Chain A
Amino acid sequence: MLRLERRPSDSKLMMALSPVLAIVLTLAAGGTLFSVLGHAPGQALYTFFIAPLTDLYGWTELGVKVAPLMLCALGLNFCYRARVWNIGAEGQFIMGGLGGGWIALELMHLNDIWILPLVLLAGTVCGMAWAALAAWLKTHFHANEVLTTIMLNYIALNALLYAVHGPLMDPDGFNFPESALFTESVTMPLIHEDYRLSISLLLALLVLAVMWTLLTRTLLGFQISVLGEDEKAARFAGFRTRWLTWMALLVSGALAGLAGIAEVTGPLGQLSPHISPGYGYAAIIVVFLGRMHPLGILFASMLLGLTYMGGEMVQMDLTLPKSITGLFQGMLLFFLLACDVLIGYRILPASRQNPQTAN
């Protein structure tokens, strides 16, 4: 048998190594899974993780997935650093898309340069408002934010379904639950006309730089970190903890809302029941995998973005269900949490005890 022994201090090496280890374990488990399903594991893993990126088009498609993931994750990161467990990026994303999309449908026949920024702003504000609900419930009623944000996700999804089946349905759409297609004036400009990649990726990279500065160079970032490390210390230092909780959720909601409206006015081009393939949930994994650091989040969102493309690829090439994406994402988070134990603990054989380190 093995036993855990507390390290004198957390291992920085393991902190960095754990995600790598988790990825290796996920690949091993994924390979095993493929071979159980009767596919050569090497070939299948190649199809899942490498084949999508063998041409420029693949890389631009990865950018399409990375932008929303990164925006959601950068916001969640802000919350998680403060130990505010916002699981609601999915709902905030949907409300951003829905609210902004509604404004877009109202204004899209005008042909002004300020329409798109206005639509983006509307989406951002809607996402923020949805998160504000959770903040209000937490600070005024002490309601657990994990449960309230999850419930708000389901409510947002139903609101979207209601809208596309009812008031926002395209009158000329043969009764499909979809809105009318957006016009040019409410569509995100593309980076290059041959690809679907829009300027939302640039926006996400800009946000990354801002968040990095915010976290490491400002008082707010410092206060958020202190609140997460030790709430009592934060109170003692006179930080307004309520206000910080609000800030964490508002920033997070705003970014998820922006991701939502950028997705709707970008690659999707209309409202439909499936505006998010679970970006809000995948972003949670991105934050943990990215070690709650902006740069780590960049790489982690590339990997998670790749799992969406890999899922589509194995569906086409190996006729496996696309839902294998969720399976890989879940395994990744599981292995990561298991490997993270090594940050605080050493694993030793149970029989041998070292009296010097046992305290």
Chain B
Amino acid sequence: MDIDLLTNILFATIRTGTPLVLIALGELVCEKAGVLNLGQEGMVLMGAATGFIITVVTGSLWLGVGAAMLAGLFMSLLFGFLAISLVANQVATGLALTIFGIGLSAFLGTEYVGVGIEGISQLEIPLLSSLPVIGKVLFSHDPLVYLSWGIFAALYFCFRRTRLGLTIRAVGENPESANAIGMRVMLVRYGAVLFGGAMAGLAGGYLSLAYTPLWSEGMSAGRGWIALALVVFASWKVERVLLGAYLFGAASIMHLVLQGLGFSVSPNLLSMLPYIATIVVLMIISNDTIKAKLNTPLALGQPYRPQI
């Protein structure tokens, strides 16, 4: 394999992995706080549709990115209201959010299918981007990729070193005790859910404004669900999310790799790879039930209702 091909593959891996990084980091925070939001797919699609529409209407890519995040935020607020305030079943509410998001995004985006825009362009970091191989692989991306690294670093620091990180974990492990020592469980959970929503929206914006600058129905192609599996794969550890996301990114671009190497396989068969990889990963991770239990936030998926 020649070095140019390898460089291109690694570059594409990072690009493809970025939406997964964003969604999975958002969901990780949410789950650390004890809330399981299965609505990622719907929020990503809403982000993608809204971001694209706002960009076409206003002509501004960055307004589009902001709108994508707001759309995700709005969707997660709906989820929070039902699953946190009204203590509805989190699995069912998440599914509802996804079904609703798929429908609403398809509805809003109908007139924008096939419209073309100039996507977010790459920002080559001076000096660093001229390094051989790594320059292209790490330092020639669009700004959202760098942003995803910034968010990753902030979360890594947050869960290792800060009081906020501890509070989120306490709320996810044992909300009753957290409440007893004066933590505001509902507030923390809402915050986590909203953060997850904004991140999913941002991932959607990345898809429709940078990755493939266009809108099409269901364009996230299950990334929201794959990200959910990624969090399990990462055993709720921030650094493993990053690693996992890029591994999945690599699995999703296998067709490029194989084409580059001169093989011809049906693209439809190759499109199955990330989904098959997800199942295999779930098999391996879930097989050890004791270890899986130790890693999972204890109160994950359980509604909390303050005692009056």
Are the C-beta atoms of A329 and B103 separated by less than 8 Å?
Answer: yes
Evaluate whether A148 and B107 lie within 8 angstroms (CB atoms) in the complex, with A285-B99, A337-B82 already known: no
Q: Which residue of B lies closest to A33 (CB)?
A: B107
Q: Which residue of B lies closest to A5 (CB)?
A: B308
Are the C-beta atoms of A333 and B103 separated by less than 8 Å?
Answer: no
Determine the chain B residues whose CB is within 8 A of the CB of A85 once the complex forms: 91
Are the C-beta atoms of B272 and A155 separated by less than 8 Å?
Answer: yes
Which residue of B87, B101, B268 contacts A158 across the interface (Cβ within 8 Å)? B268
| B6: interface (CB < 8 Å) | no
Are the C-beta atoms of B102 and A151 separated by less than 8 Å?
Answer: no
| A85, A146, A151 interface centre (most CB from chain B within 10 Å) | A151
Determine the chain A residues whose CB is within 8 A of the CB of B212 once the complex forms: none
Cβ < 8 Å to B, chain A residues 160-194 = 161-162, 165-166
Chain B interface residue count, Cβ-Cβ cutoff 8 angstroms: 48
| B95: interface (CB < 8 Å) | yes
| A57: interface (CB < 8 Å) | no
Which residue of B217, B275, B308 contacts A323 across the interface (Cβ within 8 Å)? B217
Cβ < 8 Å to A, chain B residues 150-193 = none
**Measured between alpha carbons, how far is A155 from B100 in the docked complex, in Å?**
22
| A48: interface (CB < 8 Å) | no
Q: How far is the CB of B205 from chain A (nearest CB, A)?
A: 20
Determine the chain A residues whose CB is within 8 A of the CB of B93 once the complex forms: 337
Are the C-beta atoms of A323 and B268 separated by less than 8 Å?
Answer: no
| A210: interface (CB < 8 Å) | no
Q: How far is the CB of B197 from chain A (nearest CB, A)?
A: 15
Q: Mark B79-119, 1 if CB is under 8 A from A, else 0.
A: 00010001111011101110111111011001000000000
Q: How far is the CB of A96 from chain B (nearest CB, A)?
A: 18
| A159: interface (CB < 8 Å) | yes
Are the C-beta atoms of B106 and A326 separated by less than 8 Å?
Answer: yes
**Measured between alpha carbons, how far is A166 from B289 in the docked complex, in Å?**
41
Evaluate whether A144 and B282 lie within 8 angstroms (CB atoms) in the complex, with A4-B86, A333-B96 already known: yes
Are the C-beta atoms of A162 and B269 separated by less than 8 Å?
Answer: yes
Which residue of B96, B110, B276 contacts A330 across the interface (Cβ within 8 Å)? B96
**Measured between alpha carbons, how far is A143 from B283 in the docked complex, in Å?**
6
Interface bracket on A: 35 or more
Are the C-beta atoms of B286 and A144 separated by less than 8 Å?
Answer: yes
Are the C-beta atoms of A341 and B88 separated by less than 8 Å?
Answer: yes
Which residue of B97, B217, B287 contacts A141 across the interface (Cβ within 8 Å)? B287
Q: How far is the CB of A232 from chain B (nearest CB, A)?
A: 16
Determine the chain B residues whose CB is within 8 A of the CB of A333 once the complex forms: 92, 95-96, 99-100
Q: How far is the CB of A355 from chain B (nearest CB, A)?
A: 11
Evaluate whether A325 and B103 lie within 8 angstroms (CB atoms) in the complex, with A154-B221, A161-B268 already known: yes
| B232: interface (CB < 8 Å) | yes
**Measured between alpha carbons, how far is A327 from B107 in the docked complex, in Å?**
7
Are the C-beta atoms of A150 and B225 separated by less than 8 Å?
Answer: yes
**Measured between alpha carbons, how far is A165 from B271 in the docked complex, in Å?**
14
What number of residue pairs across chains A and B have CB atoms under 8 A from each other? 136
Are the C-beta atoms of A141 and B275 separated by less than 8 Å?
Answer: no
Q: Which residue of B lies closest to A142 (CB)?
A: B286
Determine the chain A residues whose CB is within 8 A of the CB of B289 once the complex forms: 142
Q: Which residue of B lies closest to A345 (CB)?
A: B87
Are the C-beta atoms of A141 and B282 separated by less than 8 Å?
Answer: yes
Are the C-beta atoms of B278 and A151 separated by less than 8 Å?
Answer: yes
Q: How far is the CB of A292 from chain B (nearest CB, A)?
A: 12
Which residue of B38, B99, B226, B266 contacts A162 across the interface (Cβ within 8 Å)? B266
| A353: interface (CB < 8 Å) | yes
Are the C-beta atoms of A288 and B92 separated by less than 8 Å?
Answer: yes
Determine the chain A residues whose CB is within 8 A of the CB of B271 once the complex forms: 158, 161
Evaluate whether A147 and B100 lie within 8 angstroms (CB atoms) in the complex, with A137-B279, A137-B282 already known: no
| A324: interface (CB < 8 Å) | yes
| B305: interface (CB < 8 Å) | yes
| A284: interface (CB < 8 Å) | yes
| A6, A338, A358 interface centre (most CB from chain B within 10 Å) | A338
| A340: interface (CB < 8 Å) | yes
Q: How far is the CB of A91 from chain B (nearest CB, A)?
A: 10
**Measured between alpha carbons, how far is A83 from B87 in the docked complex, in Å?**
18
Are the C-beta atoms of B269 and A158 separated by less than 8 Å?
Answer: yes
Which residue of A151, A285, A327, A334 contacts B222 across the interface (Cβ within 8 Å)? A151
Q: How far is the CB of A260 from chain B (nearest CB, A)?
A: 18
Determine the chain A residues whose CB is within 8 A of the CB of B286 once the complex forms: 141-144
Evaluate whether A334 and B107 lie within 8 angstroms (CB atoms) in the complex, with A85-B91, A87-B95 already known: no
Are the C-beta atoms of A334 and B102 separated by less than 8 Å?
Answer: no
The 10 closest A-B pairs by CB, nearest first: A326-B103, A330-B100, A323-B106, A162-B268, A321-B110, A327-B103, A143-B282, A333-B96, A151-B275, A141-B283
| 12 extra interface residue pairs, beta carbon distance < 8 Å, beyond A147-B229, A152-B275, A323-B106 | A3-B308, A4-B305, A141-B287, A142-B287, A143-B282, A147-B232, A147-B278, A151-B278, A154-B221, A330-B100, A330-B102, A338-B82
- A–B complex contacts, Cβ < 8 Å, 13 sampled: A144-B282, A147-B278, A148-B279, A148-B282, A155-B272, A158-B269, A162-B266, A165-B266, A281-B99, A324-B103, A337-B92, A338-B88, A341-B87
Which residues of B does A touch, CB under 8 Å? 38, 78, 82, 86-89, 91-93, 95-97, 99-104, 106-107, 110, 217, 221-222, 225-226, 228-229, 232, 266, 268-269, 271-272, 275-276, 278-279, 282-284, 286-287, 289, 292, 305, 308
